[in-house]
C-alpha cells in the first residue's frame, strides 16, 4: 500500500539554523498519528514545512506517492492537505457559515454535501451558522477551525495543538470526533499535541520528536501507558 504521507530526510530551519534534521515519518490513510515533543522542538516547523510555508533544504515530502516539495502552499491545499494552525486563526469577524465557505473555496471541486458532512461531525456549528465566530467559546472556535479545514475535503488533515484553550470535555469530544473521521472517511490525521489524554483518545500511533527528528514511535498499547508517555514528553 502506498503511504498517504511519506516524509523522507526532511531538513529545514530559519536563517541558516537547522530545526528539522533529516526527519522521516510515514502516515497511512484512515489513521491518526500523534506527534509529541517538548516546547520548541520543531513541531510547528514540521507543519509549516508540510504545507509549504517553509522551504526544505533537503529531503522529500510525498503525498500518495507524489512529491510535493516544489509546490507552493495553495497547490498543496488543492492536492489534499488541510491545516488547522496553532491558535486556530479563524476569521473572528465572519460568521460560522462564512468561515466554512472560505474553507470550501480552497477546493474548487468541493460539493455542497461536503459542508453537510462536516456539520454532521460538529453539530454545535449547525446551530450557530449565522453567529460571528469571534463570539463563540474556545472549544466552539476550535471545532470551527477543524470543520473549516475539513470543508476543503482534504486527504490529509494536520492539526497543531487543538487542545490549547479548550475545556477538557470539549477536548475529549474533539479527540473522539477526529478518530471517527479518520476511521470512517480514510482521511489521515497528523495531530501535534501535548495533552496526553487527547493523544490516548485519538491516536493509533504516536511519534516522538526530539533534536529535529522522530526518535520513537509508539503503538496504541504504549500510548495507553501514562508513565511511558510522560517519559517521552520529558525527553
Ligand atoms: N519564524 C521563526 N524564525 C526563527 N526561528 C523560529 C521561527 N519559528 C520558530 N523558530 C524556532 O524554531 C524552533 C522550533 O520552533 P517550533 O515553533 O517549531 O516548536 P514547537 O515544537 O512547535 O513548540 P511549541 O510546543 O512551543 O509550539 C524554536 O527554536 C524556535 O525558536
Ligand atoms: Mg508549536
- Distance between first and last Cα of the chain: 33
What is the domain range of residue 188?
Answer: 5-233
Whole-number Å distance between alpha carbons of 16 and 19: 10
Q: Whose CA is nearest to atom 6 of ligand 1?
A: 14
**Residue spans of beta strands (DSSP E) within 65-113:** 66-67, 81-84
Whole-number Å distance between alpha carbons of 204 and 132: 35
Domain count, the chain: 1
DSSP 233: H
| Residues belonging to the chain | 235
Out of 15, 38, 39, 44, give the residue to mutate to test ligand 1, the one with the largest number of ligand atoms within 8 Å of its CB.
Answer: 44
What's the pTM value of the predicted model, to 2 decimals?
A: 0.95
Q: Whose CA is nearest to atom 14 of ligand 1?
A: 42
pLDDT tens-digit profile, the chain (235 residues): 789 999 999 999 999 899 999 999 999 999 999 999 999 999 999 999 999 999 999 999 999 999 998 899 999 999 999 999 998 889 999 999 999 999 888 776 667 778 899 999 999 999 999 999 999 999 999 999 999 999 999 999 999 999 999 999 999 999 999 999 999 999 999 999 999 999 999 999 999 999 999 999 999 999 999 999 999 998 7
Ligand 2 ion: nearby residues, β-carbon < 5 Å: 43-44, 86
Give the CATH number for residue 152: 3.40.50.300
Amino acid at each position: 500500500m502506498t503511504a498517504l504521507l511519506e516524509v523522507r530526510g526532511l531538513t529545514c530551519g530559519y536563517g541558516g539554523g537547522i530545526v528539522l534534521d533529516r526527519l522521516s515519518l510515514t502516515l497511512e490513510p484512515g489513521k491518526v498519528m500523534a506527534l509529541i515533543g517538548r516546547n520548541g522542538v520543531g513541531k510547528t516547523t514540521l507543519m509549516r514545512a508540510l504545507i509549504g510555508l517553509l522551504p526544505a533544504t533537503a529531503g522529500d515530502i510525498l503525498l500518495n506517492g507524489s512529491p510535493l516539495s516544489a509546490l507552493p502552499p495553495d497547490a498543496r491545499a488543492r492536492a489534499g492537505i488541510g491545516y488547522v494552525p496553532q491558535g486556530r486563526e479563524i476569521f473572528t469577524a465572519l460568521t460560522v457559515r462564512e468561515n466554512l465557505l472560505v474553507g470550501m473555496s480552497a477546493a474548487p471541486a468541493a460539493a455542497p454535501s461536503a459542508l453537510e458532512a462536516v456539520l454532521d461531525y460538529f453539530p454545535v456549528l449547525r446551530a450557530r451558522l449565522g453567529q460571528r465566530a469571534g463570539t463563540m467559546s474556545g472549544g466552539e472556535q476550535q471545532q470551527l477551525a477543524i470543520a473549516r479545514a475539513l470543508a476543503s475535503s482534504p486527504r490529509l488533515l494536520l492539526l497543531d495543538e487543538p487542545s490549547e484553550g479548550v475545556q477538557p470535555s470539549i477536548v475529549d469530544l474533539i479527540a473522539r470526533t477526529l478518530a471517527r473521521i479518520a476511521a470512517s472517511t480514510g482521511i489521515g490525521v497528523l495531530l501535534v499535541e501535548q495533552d496526553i489524554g487527547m493523544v490516548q483518545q485519538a491516536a493509533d500511533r504516536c511519534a516522538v520528536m526530539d533534536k529535529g527528528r522522530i526518535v520513537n514511535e509508539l503503538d496504541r498499547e504504549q500510548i495507553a501507558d501514562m508513565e511511558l508517555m510522560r517519559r517521552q514528553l520529558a525527553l
